[in-house]
Chain A
């Protein structure tokens, strides 16, 4: 294991790996090592020591940090200035077998792990304005910028989000941050089935209430803090200063008469972190679909282990362990979406495609892009697909 303290260390490690034709597994806190295809690398490049706040400018809404910085450190810092990350990073650690609160910002960006508020503020890729990174040639480079509005050159930071470390090692990231509204209200609509709930969530999403969470939990996934849920519960979060929030809650009642406020602010984190599925003995899939297609997919799959976020556009679905998810993938694809395997044992993650298999033209393009950043295939080889 190589522990990099600086960008120069990362460069040295990559140059050494290049010289020896070695592959490197890039890890931060290692909370998502069990996500993606299982792989065998020659060495581990630990970048968790590349940690710390480089510059925080609240009035600019800009934060520059080293990628090994724990997300909890960032959220605490931002909270002190009543700000936050818009994409509300989720902590998949406990779901994938590591302690809570360890995930680093670099890992969250690389795995594109977003929470409920992404429906309002966009995903991680929409918040990553700029970066420094080291490519597979051992060269450091920067891309993007440290301002909100920038079209200078290709937007490489977006490409790094969700690339699972296959394109390079992040060494600095600049994020756009958002003001945290003074008040937040979580609301529940009880005893509502998937079809009706998703329609309701979409009505809110289509309204100007700017909801920052639109989720659904069925009765089969117990969450004690919700109390009675009947068939299932639609969950909505509205935010704002006192008066605006009051107006939004009144407007919501016109859409969902039975909506009631609850004290359960952590319920959305419990969904996006997958914590609600703790103890479920199944493989967990995450499907991204057009929101209007979500309910039908849930119905056809027929699994009692599921939950939804993003007004039905994001489905968490539990399927029998060791299965290949072919039916889910077929349904998602037909609806214009896709499904990714989030949690399964190592054997399954080796045997079946964890990330959506690509069609030939796209696959060739993905391979060329990988080669443009990592021509020798040093970084996380096979983490996303066999060749990437």
Chain B
């Protein structure tokens, strides 16, 4: 992984830069070694780097002032929310200011009449739902890190979750943002009503901190469905499970969530927390349907019927909340359960057309033998988003390299079958050097020209998303060392 070489001139001016930052954001600059160590990376733990300095603004004006200063001095900026990115989006650079937005953590306006919430960027994802649930509303995107990850980071990464097929990603639930451009100028895109101009909001969502710093966001909230029903279907073969997924969608049912686990995963989670999945099954689907009572009942009946017709060996529905929690517990325990089987683990994040699932799983099983490494597959089956988990031991000679090669091969396979490199974790530094697998030089050049329209000097989050010519191919992964996942208190699914 090559990041841009640090600018020695900036490193040499570090003391005066820090002094200037302290004047702009009193009580909000971290510059000591121990302090910077706390901000030296995100949930892509394989990469660590201390920033030139870390600044923690409390207001839009402070953000603007720092960005104006940085532009004058030619200093790069790495924006950071909670640092839960799995792709290294918030990885600091030695010669860049790391800007943490976590102190801008107030919800500014809850507007039920217009079904939206206006918030500062440092508010956590789950806090939005917590703030509106008493009135029967919620915020739909639910990345697994939702108790910690922030709205600003969600906008930057276009975060997903398990309900994307029905309720969309962040971009589909984002009405507006105010961003600060390089140089400190602020611009509002969208809002409680559309702005009628070019859809710049649409490109800021998922721009991974390359276009601007989000200082305010307007989010759509949804009325909570009155009824949610959860089913489990077990299959003797993966193609049967794949056919079931296709048949459910083909029948016009859009489940709120539809999750697939393969045999390896079932075994691991049964050993770990006994959620009650049949151990002899080749695949299990957890399917959740919601809506008004009759709608959920209708969908649950259709799903049961279709699963049986597709050859399910067992179909059961959770009869109460505790059983529902138990069914989900297995799915949500996939990471820690696999983590017990080997000291290290890589988590991938590609999306494939759902119909390619049997082919992709067959090929992955072959690859597992070729690379001599175990793996399991969890899959947001509704939207085609795969999360293969590769297990290995970094202490054994060559295993890390083999695991990385296996991971890269999986992502290339995703693209080969018509899918994409990343469904929800983002490109960051992790998949940066694989962008050429999916995009041509012309594709990437057009994206980079857009980047230049916002940030001509290339000061925002340099070294992320776009491959450098000289870099060797790396692979996408989340590195789990010694069973210690980054943010071990966060569920991963």
Inter-chain contact A143/B443, CB cutoff 8 Å: yes
Inter-chain contact B295/A247, CB cutoff 8 Å: yes
Q: Which residues of B contact A200 (CB under 8 A)?
A: none
Q: Which residues of A contact B203 (CB under 8 A)?
A: 154-156, 158-159
Q: Which residues of B contact A153 (CB under 8 A)?
A: 427, 435, 438-439, 443-444, 447, 465
Cross-chain contact of B113 among A152, A202, A207 (Cβ < 8 A): A202
Min distance, Cβ A126 to any Cβ of chain B, angstroms: 5
Min distance, Cβ B331 to any Cβ of chain A, angstroms: 17
Min distance, Cβ A185 to any Cβ of chain B, angstroms: 14
Tell me, in angstroms, the Cα distance from A372 to B400 when the chains sit together: 41
Cross-chain contact of A290 among B114, B291, B294, B423 (Cβ < 8 A): B114
Inter-chain contact B165/A156, CB cutoff 8 Å: no
Q: Does A67 contact B (CB under 8 A)?
A: no
Q: Which residues of B contact A350 (CB under 8 A)?
A: none
Q: Which residues of A contact B113 (CB under 8 A)?
A: 202, 290-292
Chain B residue nearest to A251 in the complex (CB) = B292
Q: Does B202 contact A (CB under 8 A)?
A: yes
Q: Which residues of A contact B294 (CB under 8 A)?
A: 240, 243-244, 246-247
Q: Given A153-B435, A154-B450 in contact, is the A356-B223 Cβ separation under 8 Å?
A: no
Q: Does B199 contact A (CB under 8 A)?
A: yes
Q: Which residues of B contact A179 (CB under 8 A)?
A: 249, 251-254
Query: Chain B 191-228, CB within 8 Å of chain A: the 1/0 string?
Result: 11111111111110111000000000000000111100
Tell me, in angstroms, the Cα distance from A181 to B294 when the chains sit together: 14
Q: Does A184 contact B (CB under 8 A)?
A: no
Number of interface residues of B (CB under 8 A): 93
Cross-chain contact of A369 among B198, B352, B353, B438 (Cβ < 8 A): B198
Chain B residue nearest to A82 in the complex (CB) = B252
Inter-chain contact A159/B198, CB cutoff 8 Å: yes
Min distance, Cβ B373 to any Cβ of chain A, angstroms: 25
Q: Which residues of B contact A151 (CB under 8 A)?
A: 157-158, 160, 169, 206, 422-427
Q: Given A158-B202, A159-B199, A373-B449 in contact, is the A208-B224 Cβ separation under 8 Å?
A: yes
Q: Which residues of A contact B435 (CB under 8 A)?
A: 152-153
Chain A residue nearest to B112 in the complex (CB) = A206
Q: Does B72 contact A (CB under 8 A)?
A: no
Inter-chain contact A355/B295, CB cutoff 8 Å: no
Q: Given A290-B114, A356-B197 in contact, is the A59-B355 Cβ separation under 8 Å?
A: yes
Q: Does A340 contact B (CB under 8 A)?
A: yes
Q: Does A58 contact B (CB under 8 A)?
A: yes
Q: Does A205 contact B (CB under 8 A)?
A: yes
Inter-chain contact A149/B383, CB cutoff 8 Å: yes
Q: Given A143-B446, A153-B447, A154-B207 in contact, is the A59-B453 Cβ separation under 8 Å?
A: no
Min distance, Cβ B460 to any Cβ of chain A, angstroms: 13
Tell me, in angstroms, the Cα distance from A196 to B198 when the chains sit together: 34
Within 8 A of B (CB), among A32-69: 57-62
Inter-chain contact B298/A241, CB cutoff 8 Å: yes
Inter-chain contact B158/A139, CB cutoff 8 Å: no
Tell me, in angstroms, the Cα distance from A144 to B246 when the chains sit together: 23
Inter-chain contact A155/B202, CB cutoff 8 Å: yes
Q: Which residues of B contact A178 (CB under 8 A)?
A: 254
Min distance, Cβ A14 to any Cβ of chain B, angstroms: 13
Q: Does B318 contact A (CB under 8 A)?
A: no
Inter-chain contact A59/B454, CB cutoff 8 Å: no
Inter-chain contact A62/B353, CB cutoff 8 Å: yes
Q: Give 27 A-B contacts (CB < 8 Å), ordered by A residue.
A: A60-B353, A82-B252, A122-B172, A126-B171, A141-B445, A143-B447, A147-B419, A147-B423, A149-B164, A149-B424, A150-B423, A151-B424, A153-B447, A156-B203, A156-B446, A159-B203, A163-B198, A167-B198, A179-B254, A206-B115, A208-B226, A243-B294, A291-B114, A356-B196, A361-B186, A366-B197, A373-B450
A residues near B, CB below 8 A?
Answer: 57-62, 82-83, 112, 122, 125-126, 135, 139-143, 145-156, 158-159, 161-163, 167, 178-182, 202, 205-210, 240-241, 243-244, 246-248, 251, 288-292, 313, 332, 335-340, 355-356, 358, 361-362, 365-366, 368-369, 371-373, 384, 388
Q: A156-B203, A159-B199, A248-B292 are in contact. List 15 more A-B contacts (CB 8 A).
A: A58-B250, A59-B354, A145-B351, A147-B384, A148-B165, A151-B424, A154-B206, A155-B158, A158-B203, A244-B298, A292-B113, A337-B193, A338-B195, A361-B186, A362-B189
